[in-house]
A and B are shown apart, each in its own frame.
Chain A
Amino acid sequence: MKYLVLAGAALATLAAALLLGPADLPLSDVPGSAIVWQLRLPRALLAFLVGGALGVAGTSLQALVRNPLADPFLLGLSGGAGLGAVAAIALHLPGPWALPLAAFVGAVGAMALVYRLGLVGGAELDPRILLLGGVAVGALAGAITTAIVSLAEATELRNAFLWLWGGFSGASWTTVLVMLAYAPLPLGVLVAAARPLDLLALGEEPAQYLGADVRRLKRVVYLAASLLTAAAVAVAGVIGFVGLVVPHVCRLLWGRLHRTLLPTAFLTGGVLLTAADTLARTVVAPRELPVGIVTALLGVPVFAFLLRRWTVS
Chain B
Amino acid sequence: MDRELILALRGVTCRYPDAARDSLVAVSLEVRAGEFHAVLGPNGSGKTTLVRAALGLVRPVAGDVEVLGRPAPGWSRRDLARVAGVLPQREDNLFPQRVRETVLLGRYPHLSLVGGVGARDRAAVERALAACDATDLADRWLLTLSGGEYQRVRLARALAQEPRLLVLDEPTASLDLRHEMELFELVRTQVDAHGLGALMITHHVNLAARFADHVLILAEGRAVARGAPADVLTQETAAAAFQWPVVISTFDGRPQMIPLRNKENRP
| Chain A residues packing against B (C-beta within 8 Å) | 66, 68, 122, 192, 195-196, 198-199, 201-203, 205-206, 208-214, 251, 255-257, 310, 313
Whether B108 pairs with A205 at a CB distance below 8 angstroms is no
Whether A209 pairs with B86 at a CB distance below 8 angstroms is yes
A209 to B95, CA, bound (A): 20
A209 to B166, CA, bound (A): 11
Note all chain A residues with C-beta closer than 8 A to B80: 211
Check: B173 CB closer than 8 A to any chain A CB.
no
* CB-CB nearest in chain A for B157: A210
Among A122, A196, A210, A257, chain B packs the most CB atoms within 10 A around the CB of: A210
| Among A201, A205, A214, A313, contact of B95 (Cβ-Cβ < 8 Å) | A201
Instruction: Classify chain B: how many residues form its interface, as a range.
Output: 20 to 34
Check: B82 CB closer than 8 A to any chain A CB.
yes
| Among B84, B85, B88, B108, contact of A198 (Cβ-Cβ < 8 Å) | B108
* CB-CB nearest in chain A for B110: A211
* CB-CB nearest in chain A for B95: A256
A206 to B105, CA, bound (A): 11
Whether A209 pairs with B55 at a CB distance below 8 angstroms is yes
Closest Cβ–Cβ distance, residue A4 to chain B (whole Å): 18
Take A195-B108, A256-B96 as given contacts and tell me if A213 and B76 are in contact as well, using a CB distance cutoff of 8 Å. Answer: yes
Closest Cβ–Cβ distance, residue B111 to chain A (whole Å): 7
Note all chain B residues with C-beta closer than 8 A to A205: 57, 88, 91
| Among A66, A211, A213, A214, contact of B108 (Cβ-Cβ < 8 Å) | A211
Whether B88 pairs with A212 at a CB distance below 8 angstroms is no
Closest Cβ–Cβ distance, residue A126 to chain B (whole Å): 14
Among B77, B84, B141, chain A packs the most CB atoms within 10 A around the CB of: B77
A203 to B93, CA, bound (A): 9
* CB-CB nearest in chain B for A252: B96
* CB-CB nearest in chain A for B114: A192
Check: B78 CB closer than 8 A to any chain A CB.
yes
| Among B85, B86, B96, contact of A310 (Cβ-Cβ < 8 Å) | B96
18 more A-B residue pairs beyond the given contacts A206-B88, A206-B91, with a C-beta to C-beta distance below 8 A: A66-B94, A195-B108, A199-B108, A201-B94, A203-B90, A205-B88, A206-B86, A210-B108, A210-B109, A211-B77, A212-B78, A212-B108, A213-B76, A213-B77, A256-B95, A256-B96, A256-B101, A310-B96
A298 to B111, CA, bound (A): 39
Whether B77 pairs with A251 at a CB distance below 8 angstroms is no
* CB-CB nearest in chain B for A205: B88
Note all chain A residues with C-beta closer than 8 A to B46: none
